[in-house]
Structure 1
Amino acid sequence: MQKALITNKARIESIDILRGLVMVIMALDHVRDYFHVSDDPLNLATTTPFLFFTRWITHFCAPIFVFLSGTSIYLQSLRKTKRVLQSFLIKRGLWLIFVEVVFISFAWTYNPSYNLIIFQVIWAIGISMVLLGLLIRLPFNFILIIGLAIVFGHNLLDIPESTPGFKAGFWWDLLHHGFFAFYPITQNHVLLILYPFLPWTGLMMLGYCTGLFFSPKYSVQQRRKILNRIGIGLILLFIAVRFINVYGNPEAWSTQKNALFTILSFINVHKYPPSLLYMCMTIGPAFLLLSLFERIQNPFTRTVRIYGRVAFFYYVIHLYLIHLISAVFFIAKGHSFQEGIHVGGGLPFYFLAANDGYSLFIVYVIWMSAVIALFPLCKWYDNYKTNHREKWWLAYL
């Protein structure tokens, strides 16, 4: 018998605040991609602590974004039947994959020929939604077990991947191994895999299961206590397993030239795909922040909450804006549009010549300027969605 559905549609503001915060931070990484020419910012042989931090802090964005997508799906399940929710998840997941291919790939490249199709975080969320939609009618505990098995067990796949001469192949790259894995579609068109989906799907499943704590079964006080305990537990698990240096991350940490760089080595964990320790390091603090934001309301939280309420809309337009600014800077230096497409700063970061990079100070100025410039548009769209709940298509944007 179908359980009674909850009709209260009040949003959980702590979720919107945290989602908004990571969306704002995420833009920093994308501005750095387009405006700062450097070696890998996580390469301890060449980086600086400030450059390392600029990249490392953005590690929290994708996993929290995916995790909270799962949490939001659970909250939808409180007011939708499983049949309706299943249909919505499959359709929205396929829509997100389409958006990744058509709109996001173009936002990264500004190449109307679509020579490069990129599978990134929106693709990972889309396929994870489809898979969760297929499983959504299963018992809650079954989804929880699958999610835990994927998150805690997928690094076992590192063992065959680390063997000499290992070649992943398309399906293995799509599932787990791929990072900057290129596959030809036609003679002039290439698919670039950045986000293999398996670990992200497991993380979304655990986010879905965490949504239980945001249901009316738990008071705010109970929820905060649970979130704090899980958050601290995940951070301690990260420290303990990382210290052992045996499992949970493809690369081991090592002693560096000084204590600070040794710490940087310790927290430098694998994102593509997200390792168990990467997820513990990022989702642990996320639990603590969710608890913290339950009781903090100030101008800052009210501002970032707007970005969180329109996260997908913000994600799409911020890429177009940042790349547009990059193209303007590139052309202003005397380069042509065709140079931007064919030279670039390395796929997929077009419109950045090898010697045209800017300082991190400029990167931070452009980042904050872009985020502030987008706020009025995000606020308008949030008001539009709030006042037009009857428009079904808004649920897909």
Structure 2
Amino acid sequence: MPTTSLAPASNKRIDSIDILRGIIMLVMALDHVRDVFHQGSPDPTDLATTTPFLFFTRWITHFCAPNFLFLSGISAYLAGKRRTKKELSIFLIQRGIWLVLVEVLIINTAFELNFQFHFLVLQVMWAIGVSMILLGLIIWMPIELIGIIGLLIFCGHNLFDYFHTSGFMSKLLFNASGFGPQNIIRLDASHNVLDAYAVLPWTGVMLLGYFCGQCYQSTFDGKRRQHLLLRLSALLLFTFLLLRYFNLYGDPAPWSHQKTAVLSIISFLNVTKYPCSLHYLCMTLSAGLFLLAMAERFGNRLTRLFAMYGSVPFFYYILHFYLLRLFNIIIFFVSGFNTTDIQPKPTDFSFHPANFGFSLWGVYLVWLAVICTLYLPCRWFSAYKKKHRAWWLSYL
């Protein structure tokens, strides 16, 4: 994102938000590339088998989803400055439904190449979509009350780590709301759903982002906003270090001293994402708020590059999944595999046999190839959005 305006107008994009969103989009792709192309796909968070390089490759992508949800909340507030409450409510609900449909129909198709949808994975689009619907329903409340609700969810959702449930409907509601660990929900003999992103804690993050959107009003002093973001970042970091070091409330997976200092550090940083814990949210949002404040102080070619990607996040997100699938199929055949090696199970990547893929260095090269390939399409669409004001662009 040239230098950022410290008092942005409500009808123009805010550079610092696009800068952070662009960083998120680029880093996020690394995790998806690793999923597809890392040979053997070992668990990066398993202390018995992981390496520092592998763990870091996974850990750095932890920062993407929470900060994207937070920025979505800010964007929802800014969208409300150009709409009435009724218009904003309808917009958020419609856009939320659209994102859920995109998750189920478009993203899952890219993952599985299975048009019978035997195995649906509800991921970040689902979480954003449902969170938008919920925000659209409560948008009529005073913004202070929305902020309080968001804070209560943010701080209190881990209380439900101590509850358990059984039965199909109760388990579905329990996990969809964010009270339980991710698991596979069986719909029938051949259709299953993995609720990877339980909604409730993510909704709390979006509500807090919506509340903090007030500091991006054109009348809000830019220096004051930067200082506020830095203080909030420091508070979240302190909260994370305190709760994590003493293994207090906020994460079902405590850390412990390991046989080496490096593994102990990995254990300390190995917080729970599914469903996201208070430790995880404090750690990731602390870094995001810091970068959001710093993005207002710098303007150069790199930040403009980040801002370009960040101005078209939906477009980039959809394209990168299908580009990954295309690369997957091409490399599959170039590597010497043939149609007999395609896995028939609907829950597996069709072109991902056990011995397919590269080392981590190869994963990083594919990641660079993906984001470089998407540069020109994203630059074109970013320029198109700046020149056009069609209603449908709000949904892309």
Q: Assess, with a 3 A threshold, how the Cα gap between structure 1 residues 204 and 395 changes in structure 2: closer, same or farther.
A: same
Alignment partner, residue 272 of structure 2: 270
TM-score under structure 2 length normalisation: 0.93
Cα contact 1:230–1:284 (8 A) shared by 2: yes
Cα contact 1:124–1:197 (8 A) shared by 2: yes
Q: What is the distance in 2 between the residues matched to 1:279 and 1:354?
A: 33
Letter aligned with residue 227 of structure 1: L
Cα contact 2:343–2:352 (8 A) shared by 1: no
Report the Cα offset of residue 184 of structure 1.
Answer: 3.3
Report the Cα offset of residue 333 of structure 1.
Answer: 3.4
Alignment partner, residue 196 of structure 2: 194
Q: What is the distance in 1 between the residues matched to 2:377 and 2:392?
A: 19
Letter aligned with residue 239 of structure 1: L
Letter aligned with residue 328 of structure 1: I
- 1:106-145 to structure 2, matched below 5 A, reads 106-145=109-148
Deviates more, 1:323-332 or 1:137-146: 323-332
Q: What is the distance in 2 between the residues matched to 1:103 and 1:23?
A: 18
- 1:1-397 to structure 2, matched below 5 A, reads 8-36=10-38, 37-161=40-164, 169-177=171-179, 181-336=183-338, 339-342=341-344, 347=347, 349-389=349-389, 391-397=390-396
Q: Assess, with a 3 A threshold, how the Cα gap between structure 1 residues 130 and 338 changes in structure 2: closer, same or farther.
A: farther
Q: What is the distance in 1 between the residues matched to 2:158 and 2:373?
A: 41
Give the length in aligned residue pairs: 387
Q: What is the distance in 1 between the residues matched to 2:250 and 2:339?
A: 44
Report the Cα offset of residue 340 of structure 1.
Answer: 3.2
Report the Cα offset of residue 243 of structure 1.
Answer: 1.2
Write out per-residue CA displacement over residues 146-173 of structure 1, whole angstroms, 9 at most, x where no aligned residue. 1001010000001124x9x999722112
Write out per-residue CA displacement over residues 169-193 of structure 1, whole angstroms, 9 at most, x where no aligned residue. 2211212256552233344332221
Report the Cα offset of residue 350 of structure 1.
Answer: 3.8
Write out per-residue CA displacement over residues 69-106 of structure 1, whole angstroms, 9 at most, x where no aligned residue. 11100111122111100000000000111111110100
Cα contact 2:233–2:287 (8 A) shared by 1: yes
Cα contact 1:180–1:193 (8 A) shared by 2: yes
Larger relative contact order (CA 8 Å, sep ≥ 6)? 2
Letter aligned with residue 158 of structure 1: D
Q: Assess, with a 3 A threshold, how the Cα gap between structure 1 residues 341 and 110 changes in structure 2: closer, same or farther.
A: farther
Letter aligned with residue 393 of structure 1: W
Report the Cα offset of residue 343 of structure 1.
Answer: 5.2
Report the Cα offset of residue 341 of structure 1.
Answer: 4.7
Letter aligned with residue 355 of structure 1: N
Structure 1 runs not aligned, ≥5 long: 1-5
Cα contact 2:44–2:55 (8 A) shared by 1: yes
Please state whether the residue corresponding to 2:327 is helix, strand or coil: helix
Cα contact 1:178–1:195 (8 A) shared by 2: no
Q: What is the distance in 2 between the residues matched to 1:39 and 1:359?
A: 11
Q: What is the distance in 2 between the residues matched to 1:196 and 1:352?
A: 27
Letter aligned with residue 171 of structure 1: L
Letter aligned with residue 375 of structure 1: Y
Write out per-residue CA displacement over residues 230-286 of structure 1, whole angstroms, 9 at most, x where no aligned residue. 001110110011112021101100001122211111111000111011000000111
Write out per-residue CA displacement over residues 262-320 of structure 1, whole angstroms, 9 at most, x where no aligned residue. 11111110001110110000001111111100011111110011111000110011011
Q: What is the distance in 2 between the residues matched to 1:303 and 1:202?
A: 30
Report the Cα offset of residue 329 of structure 1.
Answer: 1.6
Alignment partner, residue 3 of structure 1: none
Cα contact 2:160–2:180 (8 A) shared by 1: no
Q: Assess, with a 3 A threshold, how the Cα gap between structure 1 residues 327 and 253 changes in structure 2: closer, same or farther.
A: same
Please state whether the residue corresponding to 2:163 is helix, strand or coil: helix
Deviates more, 1:138-147 or 1:108-117: 108-117
Q: Give % identity.
A: 46
Alignment partner, residue 4 of structure 2: none
Structure 1 moving runs of 4+ over 6 Å: 165-168
Q: What is the distance in 2 between the residues matched to 1:254 and 1:286?
A: 26
Please state whether the residue corresponding to 1:199 is helix, strand or coil: helix
